[in-house]
């Protein structure tokens, strides 16, 4: 299990690796451009080479890219869909250039109207973005189910993958906070196991490519997306221990996106705490 954190690439892509090392990460997640602007950051071959060299010299084994929040591949507005396609394709190309494990994407939202139609629209954009890029997987992230967000259930995620053509590059990123908020009770090892069996039946766990570990400020089924620091929320230590010791997650990047002790993002202390929770979780399972 490659435990790590979301870090900033400010000052250059390779700086993100440095920030990951400072925090004791074995995996990092970055935005490939400013998260609230459509304009892409112009990275070149030199940036990619510096990034790959920094990774090779570090204990960080995996990087995932988080696509920016502006994207709505399921939008009714053709202009937003076109911009989303361009941006997603760009993220996938950067993912290929830096050897990312995947691009994590919030699948989209249906502001009004039929979610089925929005799922079809989003799927068409995923299919095009995959066709216009090579090799980097696309990980659809499950959502907390706020408003019309798509991907609140395994059934919706399976529908999105099918609408995207079912390509082998279409994968899943499961976020612990979003699972709990959308009604999956993963507060215990048994609850997590049951949830993953459901995921396996509906989507197939072979599609699981990355994970987000965040505690949740809001309760089971609240449909609100409010991350808490590990152990400080509704998942609690027990839920985090179960997540971090789940055998089906072995080998995958597990990225934290927590507020952090000083609200400046996941700290080195929290990454170390996650490693200790994993050890306690393994001991509780008798592993």
Binding site for Zn ion (CB under 5 A): 175, 212, 225
Q: Given the complex with Zn ion, which of 89 and 143 has the nearer CB atom? A: 143
| Structure token digits, residue 57 | 């010299």
SS3 call for 4: strand
Instruction: Give CA–CA dist 210/140, Å, rounded.
Output: 10
Instruction: Provide the 8-state DSSP code for 74.
Output: T
Residue spans of alpha helices (H) in the chain:
13-22, 45-56, 78-98, 115-131, 154-163, 176-181, 189-202, 236-244, 268-284
Other C-beta atoms closer than 10 Å to the C-beta of 234 total 18
Q: Given the complex with Zn ion, which of 9 and 97 has the nearer CB atom? A: 9
Q: Given the complex with Zn ion, which of 84 and 214 has the nearer CB atom? A: 214
Instruction: Give CA–CA dist 165/78, Å, rounded.
Output: 20
Phi-psi region of 286 (alpha: psi -120 to 50; beta: other; left: phi over 0): left
Q: Given the complex with Zn ion, which of 156 and 225 has the nearer CB atom? A: 225
Q: Given the complex with Zn ion, which of 14 and 102 has the nearer CB atom? A: 102
Measured from the CB of residue 255, what is the shortest distance to Zn ion in angstroms? 8
Residue closest to Zn ion (Cβ): 212
Measured from the CB of residue 277, what is the shortest distance to Zn ion in angstroms? 18
Measured from the CB of residue 222, what is the shortest distance to Zn ion in angstroms? 12
Measured from the CB of residue 262, what is the shortest distance to Zn ion in angstroms? 20
Q: Given the complex with Zn ion, which of 5 and 54 has the nearer CB atom? A: 5
Nearest of 249, 204, 260 to residue 1 by alpha carbon: 249
Cα angle 102-5-250, degrees, rounded to a multiple of 5: 65
Instruction: Give CA–CA dist 227/215, Å, rounded.
Output: 6
Measured from the CB of residue 64, what is the shortest distance to Zn ion in angstroms? 10
Q: Given the complex with Zn ion, which of 97 and 107 has the nearer CB atom? A: 107
Measured from the CB of residue 267, what is the shortest distance to Zn ion in angstroms? 18
Question: Are β-strands 102-105 and 62-66 bridged in parallel, bridged antiparallel, or unpaired?
Answer: parallel
Measured from the CB of residue 175, what is the shortest distance to Zn ion in angstroms? 4
Q: Given the complex with Zn ion, which of 17 and 172 has the nearer CB atom? A: 172
Question: 183 φ, ψ to 5°?
Answer: 105, 5
Three-state secondary structure of 120-184: HHHHHHHHHHHHCCCCCCEEEECCCCCCCECCCCHHHHHHHHHHCCCCCCEEEEEEHHHHHHCCC
Measured from the CB of residue 132, what is the shortest distance to Zn ion in angstroms? 25
């Amino acid at each position: 299990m490659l435990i790590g954190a979301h870090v900033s690439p400010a000052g250059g892509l390779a700086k993100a690796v440095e920030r990951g090392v400072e925090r004791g990460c074995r995996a990092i997640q970055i935005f490939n451009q400013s998260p609230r602007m459509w304009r892409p950051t112009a990275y070149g071959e030199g940036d990619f080479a510096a990034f790959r060299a920094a990774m090779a010299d570090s204990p960080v084994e995996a990087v995932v890219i988080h696509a920016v929040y502006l994207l709505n591949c399921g939008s009714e507005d053709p202009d937003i869909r076109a911009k989303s396609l361009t941006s997603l394709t760009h993220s996938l190309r950067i993912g290929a250039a830096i050897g990312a494990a995947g691009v994590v994407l919030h699948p989209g939202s249906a502001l009004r109207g039929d979610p089925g139609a929005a799922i079809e629209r989003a799927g068409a954009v995923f299919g095009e973005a995959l066709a216009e890029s090579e090799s980097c997987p696309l990980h659809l992230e499950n959502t907390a189910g706020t408003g019309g967000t798509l991907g609140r259930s395994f059934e919706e995620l399976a529908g999105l993958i099918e609408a995207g053509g079912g390509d082998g590059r279409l994968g899943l990123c499961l976020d612990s906070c979003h699972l709990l908020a959308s009604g999956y009770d993963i507060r215990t090892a048994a609850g997590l196991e049951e949830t993953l069996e459901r995921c396996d039946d509906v989507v197939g766990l072979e599609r699981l490519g990355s994970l987000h570990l965040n505690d949740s400020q809001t309760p089971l089924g609240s449909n609100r997306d409010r991350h808490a620091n590990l152990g400080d929320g509704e998942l609690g230590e027990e839920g985090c221990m179960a997540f971090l010791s789940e055998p089906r997650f072995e080998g995958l990047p597990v990225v934290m996106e927590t507020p952090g002790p000083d609200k400046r993002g996941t700290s080195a202390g929290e990454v170390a705490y996650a490693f200790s929770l994993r050890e306690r979780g393994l001991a509780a399972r008798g592993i």
